[in-house]
Chains A and B, each alone.
Chain A
């Protein structure tokens, strides 16, 4: 089914990735470029979650209730979720670093236009 939850999420994820790359390539304002990267990251995260989703299964939390009712085998694969959490943390770190750079770059040149930072070339 094309319009399943997984497919819709995948498509949204891919669109977000493309939008993020588009922003990173075309925007001149450094802050907007950083936002583009955040979109890119979020898109990837959605793709990761979508790929790990299994219909009708439950959250990957193993507790005594699951074990008692025998629904332990109904939980979804926990790995993509673990991965996505890690990826979010890393994405946060990278975004923070970029913002620090933006701040320092602004202090250096009083400009947030990416084209002001083309001194190094050839």
Chain B
């Protein structure tokens, strides 16, 4: 056990010793400095472990052997040990990262670094307020020295603003301290009477000045221009110390002062924190300089922790868990991002494409970014979960909104940045070779981030039950990313299959159906992956993360597990979608809608815990407060995935631009996650009433409009994959409508649509994907006449659109028949009529699809086109086989589903007699219809073959075609603007009104951001005015001036 005083001794001693070293021994001197930092890390880490395992007891250290106030006392408890460990970690690895730079600039830089870290250590440990002031000043002076590590006009200007701002703040702190001494006769925090003392004249002012100056050091909005300028002006390696180490220390100081806060000041604190969190993330929207952007994010994250500190009394024993999860993530992630920025050294985030030349750094960037945004499995995920749950439990709805809104804004700019890195035109230059001492800190931060994520989940009473194995398997695929596709694909199929096999015995009812769609469907679409050559780097980890999420939804027993899986699925699918060639904007809008939806779900789950015990999904079944709000929030969250009207604009681009086998994954499989969520929700919650109206009635109408608009848009597309994407929106509209009927037959119809949509959309996307694969174009007017070139794809499309359009004898008809029965039973005649109208529009796009692509004229340049690759055809024909069986024997599918539904909605179930189904209104025999149709089809076919046997076959350029010139400009092609006449009539419905709406929202956000950030006009004196104004406002607020 080393007394913590030796931290100060070592750092200070070595700093003095460095004064004697000459420029010749600079390397030795630098190594010695790092040694001192390593020693400090060792001491604080030893204390942390010792205190955690309870082998050490927290101690007071009195310097000079007398009691306060005549001596300074330091305290080492669990909090101090943890925070000094964080600071010393940043000190050591930040010093290692900058080692070469510091050596070049001379020994004084090492001295400044040692003084900074020593100052922060004491700031954390001290219990003496004047001592706090002294060491804050020491670290400020050291920071000001480090800021001009790269001496130029930017860093000088930034540094000067930093000095004058911190100078004023420190002066105010000092006045507060001296008044405090005057009133209490002590400088020790522990001697100061606690409680609501702010109202005692004079003494209250003293506490106020101390607390406010500490708060100002944390750069609250809007008195933080100086901080932002420093982030932008200085070397990124220095920003790490300011953001991660100084911020951490000052937050701990604020924590130490909690007992002195009056409720009004605590409230002001949380207001300031919340405002800072929202404002800095809003202002980040318009920012393009990477370091300043990270500065905004950094200030925002610290604001969030300040908010949490302000709300500490309400968070109970969860307070420390939340604060540490959020702060720990901030420290490691922000340090990692700044360090990466120091390697890239580009002044605009659009130039960061050079990062993707280095795979490892790109992955690490992604890790840090996802961690900052609170994705699983990082600590902030659990922190945010607990925070939202606790806030909901206290009825703090507006705080929830603030936190979720701020997080959302942060996601906007971080994901946009990631998109630029992954997709903008590649940089020509290669990245400079990176030395190990720059890699090491970044890698260790990422490892610690992941490890602490697991640690936090282990400490959580519910999170420790999360099944991490699928995620670990997915992560393992990163390690084998260099192997060829064939091996990785086989392994991927095997692991998904194994998981389904292991899960199977526990599956029942809807979980069985959706597990089959998710995982067996996953295997079938993965088969198409064999068509790819080479390595296909990065695909498999992400696909498996998505499947891990999808499977996790099935396995989830608690709301936490469900949300965890939901977020995993979102991450995986985002990275799959962004692989497409022109996916940059679509992937972003997919992510933003998904995140918005995820936050709605999180809020709903938080509200569901109120007056409930535990977090099992079953709590949704016995809500006694907020039930309609929870229903609506969950519905919105799930409908972002089913792409219901209003929340659908991300879908067409995302699905159309995706790779051949990714389109079916995200369209045929992923959308069903939203349906699964809706079903789980409705089973648990039933219908809910709002103002005396049933919500499902609205959902029904939403389904109707989604179906009509989706189908209409599909009919008016030129791009074949876009057509299919819009068609998914339409079909999912039917499914939503079916669920909203809240009747046995409605649900039966919706479920059978979910299953058949999975099947026909997989085959369609693969078949059209195969065509695109060969033709290298997605525009239908550039296709045509492919029936003879790609006959297998043609048959596959033909059968699929028969199912899609609901034509007998195939299983799509069953869905239609069920729907009509269900509508009549419910009495929703108008909706029913509109739904069948949507069905008619579906005929249009089905016809357009098959006609434009496979019938008509073959293009000259497609004369040598081959059939799609075998591995793309194979999954289609597997599915078609199953489709035919389900069509011929409908009870093999519908009867078990009906039995699953009966416990929840018993009335109006079908009665089965062999393959004959009876409803209230009629009967239907799928088998018989199949035989009849096949019989008629075969008869007609034979008839045609017999009568046509003498007809002379002509080639395309035979004189028979004289009426049409084969080489026409594309726009006069028959398939271009195929439904021009309908467009004229109902095109008004197909205007991109909803896209315009969301674009308007985004535009407003960005221009507000641009307006507000003008307050940071770059003048240090203006920043001083902000600081003084801030003090006045907080003063009036705390003392009731407002």
Task: Out of B156, B174, B178, B1016, name the residue touching A121 (CB < 8 Å).
Answer: B1016
CA distance A121 to B233 in the complex (A): 10
A104–B145 CB distance below 8 A: no
CA distance A47 to B171 in the complex (A): 12
Beta-carbon contacts of B1008-1035 to A below 8 Å, as 1s and 0s?
A: 0000011011111100110010000000
B130–A119 CB distance below 8 A: no
B1019–A119 CB distance below 8 A: no
B1019–A109 CB distance below 8 A: no
Task: Out of A51, A79, A93, A118, name the residue touching B1017 (CB < 8 Å).
Answer: A118
A26–B1021 CB distance below 8 A: yes
Within 8 A of A (CB), among B633-683: none
In the complex, whether B160 has a CB less than 8 A from a CB of chain A is yes
Interface hit among B161-169, B274-282, B497-505, B755-763: B161-169
Number of interface residues of A (CB under 8 A): 38
B168–A24 CB distance below 8 A: yes
CA distance A88 to B134 in the complex (A): 11
Q: Among the interface residues A25, A98, A114, A122, which one has the most CB atoms of the partner chain B within 10 A?
A: A122
Beta-carbon contacts of A86-116 to B below 8 Å, as 1s and 0s?
A: 1100100110011001101100110000110
Q: Hey, which chain B residues are within 8 Å of A83, CB to CB?
A: 130, 178, 181
Task: Out of A25, A47, A48, A94, name the residue touching B163 (CB < 8 Å).
Answer: A94
Main secondary structure on A side of the interface with B: helix
B1021–A121 CB distance below 8 A: no
A48–B178 CB distance below 8 A: yes
CA distance A24 to B160 in the complex (A): 12
A41–B178 CB distance below 8 A: no
A21–B178 CB distance below 8 A: no
CA distance A25 to B164 in the complex (A): 10
In the complex, whether B144 has a CB less than 8 A from a CB of chain A is yes
B167–A37 CB distance below 8 A: yes
In the complex, whether B695 has a CB less than 8 A from a CB of chain A is no
Within 8 A of B (CB), among A12-38: 17, 21, 24-26, 30, 33, 37
B1019–A47 CB distance below 8 A: no
Shortest C-beta distance, B544 to chain A (Å), equals 42
CA distance A115 to B1018 in the complex (A): 9
Given contacts A37-B167, A83-B130, contact A121 B1018 (CB under 8 A): yes
Q: Hey, which chain A residues are within 8 Å of B877, CB to CB?
A: none
Shortest C-beta distance, A69 to chain B (Å), equals 23
Please, which residue of chain B has its CB at the minimum distance from the CB of A118?
B1018
In the complex, whether B67 has a CB less than 8 A from a CB of chain A is no
B1016–A122 CB distance below 8 A: yes
In the complex, whether B490 has a CB less than 8 A from a CB of chain A is no
Please, which residue of chain A has its CB at the minimum distance from the CB of B1019?
A118
Shortest C-beta distance, B745 to chain A (Å), equals 60
Shortest C-beta distance, A55 to chain B (Å), equals 15
B1018–A30 CB distance below 8 A: no
Task: Out of B69, B137, B158, B181, name the residue touching A120 (CB < 8 Å).
Answer: B158
CA distance A46 to B1013 in the complex (A): 39
Shortest C-beta distance, A107 to chain B (Å), equals 9
Given contacts A25-B1025, A51-B178, A51-B182, contact A105 B187 (CB under 8 A): no
CA distance A121 to B1010 in the complex (A): 12
In the complex, whether B229 has a CB less than 8 A from a CB of chain A is yes
B179–A40 CB distance below 8 A: no
Main secondary structure on B side of the interface with A: helix
Please, which residue of chain B has its CB at the minimum distance from the CB of A105?
B156
Task: Out of B163, B171, B1014, name the residue touching A40 (CB < 8 Å).
Answer: B171
Given contacts A94-B137, A119-B157, contact A79 B175 (CB under 8 A): no
Shortest C-beta distance, B176 to chain A (Å), equals 11
Q: Hey, which chain A residues are within 8 Å of B232, CB to CB?
A: 120
Given contacts A90-B134, A120-B229, contact A104 B178 (CB under 8 A): no
In the complex, whether A117 has a CB less than 8 A from a CB of chain B is yes
In the complex, whether B159 has a CB less than 8 A from a CB of chain A is yes
A44–B175 CB distance below 8 A: yes
Q: Hey, which chain A residues are within 8 Å of B167, CB to CB?
A: 37, 40, 94, 98
Within 8 A of A (CB), among B201-241: 225, 228-229, 232-233
Task: Out of A25, A30, A79, A108, name the residue touching B69 (CB < 8 Å).
Answer: A79
Beta-carbon contacts of B178-198 to A below 8 Å, as 1s and 0s?
A: 110110000100000000000
Q: Hey, which chain A residues are within 8 Å of B286, CB to CB?
A: 122
Interface hit among B146-154, B327-335, B395-403, B686-694: B146-154
A97–B187 CB distance below 8 A: no
Given contacts A40-B171, A104-B148, A122-B1013, contact A80 B153 (CB under 8 A): no
CA distance A46 to B1014 in the complex (A): 38
CA distance A97 to B226 in the complex (A): 17
CA distance A77 to B614 in the complex (A): 58
Shortest C-beta distance, B740 to chain A (Å), equals 48
A94–B181 CB distance below 8 A: no
CA distance A119 to B1019 in the complex (A): 9
CA distance A8 to B444 in the complex (A): 59
Interface range on chain B (Cβ under 8 Å from partner): 35 or more
B1018–A119 CB distance below 8 A: yes
CA distance A86 to B151 in the complex (A): 30
Please, which residue of chain A has its CB at the minimum distance from the CB of B153?
A108
CA distance A122 to B231 in the complex (A): 12
In the complex, whether B916 has a CB less than 8 A from a CB of chain A is no
Shortest C-beta distance, A91 to chain B (Å), equals 9
Please, which residue of chain A has its CB at the minimum distance from the CB of B70?
A79
CA distance A104 to B160 in the complex (A): 10
Q: Hey, which chain B residues are within 8 Å of A108, CB to CB?
A: 151-153, 156
In the complex, whether B141 has a CB less than 8 A from a CB of chain A is yes
B154–A119 CB distance below 8 A: yes
A97–B145 CB distance below 8 A: yes
Q: Hey, which chain A residues are within 8 Å of B148, CB to CB?
A: 101, 104
Please, which residue of chain A has its CB at the minimum distance from the CB of B1014?
A122
Q: Hey, which chain B residues are within 8 Å of A105, CB to CB?
A: 153, 156-157, 160
A101–B1013 CB distance below 8 A: no
A86–B154 CB distance below 8 A: no
CA distance A24 to B229 in the complex (A): 19
Shortest C-beta distance, B1022 to chain A (Å), equals 9
A114–B1021 CB distance below 8 A: yes
Please, which residue of chain A has its CB at the minimum distance from the CB of B69?
A79
CA distance A24 to B1020 in the complex (A): 9
A120–B171 CB distance below 8 A: no
Q: Hey, which chain A residues are within 8 Å of B163, CB to CB?
A: 94, 97-98, 101
B164–A117 CB distance below 8 A: no
Please, which residue of chain A has its CB at the minimum distance from the CB of B130?
A83
B1025–A120 CB distance below 8 A: no
Please, which residue of chain A has its CB at the minimum distance from the CB of B1017?
A121
CA distance A116 to B1021 in the complex (A): 12
Please, which residue of chain B has its CB at the minimum distance from the CB of A95?
B167
Q: Hey, which chain B residues are within 8 Å of A44, CB to CB?
A: 171, 174-175, 178
Shortest C-beta distance, B133 to chain A (Å), equals 8
Q: Hey, which chain B residues are within 8 Å of A26, CB to CB?
A: 1021
CA distance A90 to B119 in the complex (A): 13
Given contacts A108-B153, A122-B1013, contact A114 B1020 (CB under 8 A): yes
Please, which residue of chain A has its CB at the minimum distance from the CB of B183?
A51
Q: In the complex, given contacts A117-B161, A121-B1017, what are 17 additional A-B residue pairs having Cβ atoms less than 8 angstroms apart?
A: A25-B1021, A33-B164, A44-B171, A79-B181, A83-B130, A94-B163, A97-B141, A101-B156, A105-B157, A114-B1019, A117-B156, A117-B1018, A119-B153, A120-B228, A120-B292, A121-B229, A122-B1014
Can you list 8 A-B pairs, Cβ within 8 angstroms, ordered by A?
A: A33-B164, A40-B168, A48-B178, A51-B181, A93-B137, A120-B158, A120-B233, A120-B292
The 7 closest A-B pairs by CB, nearest first: A121-B1018, A118-B1018, A117-B157, A120-B229, A122-B1013, A108-B153, A51-B182
Question: Which residues does B use to contact A, with CB under 8 Å?
Answer: 69-70, 130, 133-134, 137, 140-141, 144-145, 148, 151-154, 156-161, 163-164, 167-168, 171, 174-175, 178-179, 181-182, 187, 225, 228-229, 232-233, 286-287, 292, 1013-1014, 1016-1021, 1024-1025, 1028
Question: Which residues does A use to contact B, with CB under 8 Å?
Answer: 17, 21, 24-26, 30, 33, 37, 40-41, 44, 47-48, 51, 79-80, 83, 86-87, 90, 93-94, 97-98, 101-102, 104-105, 108-109, 114-115, 117-122
